[in-house]
Structure 1
Amino acid sequence: MRARRTALTVIFASASLLALAYGTAFLPGGAPGWSLGAAVLGSSGSLLGFLVLGATGSGGRLRRLLIPFLLIFLLLVGAFAFALWAPAPEPEQPELWLGLPPATAVLLYGVGLLPLLILPLAYALTFDETAASSGDASPAMSAGGAAS
């Protein structure tokens, strides 16, 4: 219950940061410099909050998932920060990383691909502790049998 409340708090705080960051775009003179940091933390924090919220649905213990979740959070912060603060590519001689401009490559691989590799591995290593047991499903099974 505590992890669920913490996850919801992180999601709310992250959404507030994102709303603040987007809201500053309408200020006279443009967005202040700190709004990019708020956008990075808000985006990464909301994804972390949803990860924790999803993991608490099984009722399992989250202690073993703490390190993979923090690793994902740091990876997301780094990837979003790099993409926002990276210099624009040169049109005549663009630098390419695996065929993409650096900021695009970091977003694609850092936000899309690496978490896709880390999360299933973390889930597999902690499956016995975090997955629902057959005892968890028995109330639902008995309710389904009574309904028919």
Structure 2
Amino acid sequence: MRTLGTVAACAALTLTLASAPAWAQPGKPAPAPEHSGSPAPGSASRNQQPQGPASVKRDGYFRGYVHKNYDMQCHAWLGSDPFWGACNDIVSSVQNMGYIGAKDDVMVYKDANYTGYRRGIYNGVWLDNLDKWVYDGAPFWETLNDSISSHQWTNLP
């Protein structure tokens, strides 16, 4: 025999599902998030990513910040790093201030030792809120925010 609480809970769930958008119904894939200014995974180009101020001189570093909007720098890297140590999984904004030339772009990785999902960040690009950016080929909820574990200097296409 069902209790009144169980019947009420089932009725509430039925109403919630009935009013949910079509993609939230069982068997329907969720859409990609709509972030202003963020290209779809795998389609980034140099002119689609946010650029840092032109007046800032490049100093060769790739910087990670604990908070959004470049607040509380965690570290500044000159070279590649297979494990971010104290900065692992806590960075919320980044700046690529690498010198222009060979291997001036950065590939960030979800896991240590340059493994797992990845995302390229072109030279001169500043990303003030990593919640807006997902890893290439990853589900929409796999944002870069608080999930980067390693990075490697590279040449992006």
Structure holding more strand per residue? 2
Same fold (TM over 0.5): no
Q: Which structure features the higher share of helix residues?
A: 1
Q: For this structure pair, what is the TM-score category when the shorter chain's length is used for normalisation?
A: under 0.3
TM (norm. structure 2) is 0.21
TM-score (norm 1): 0.22
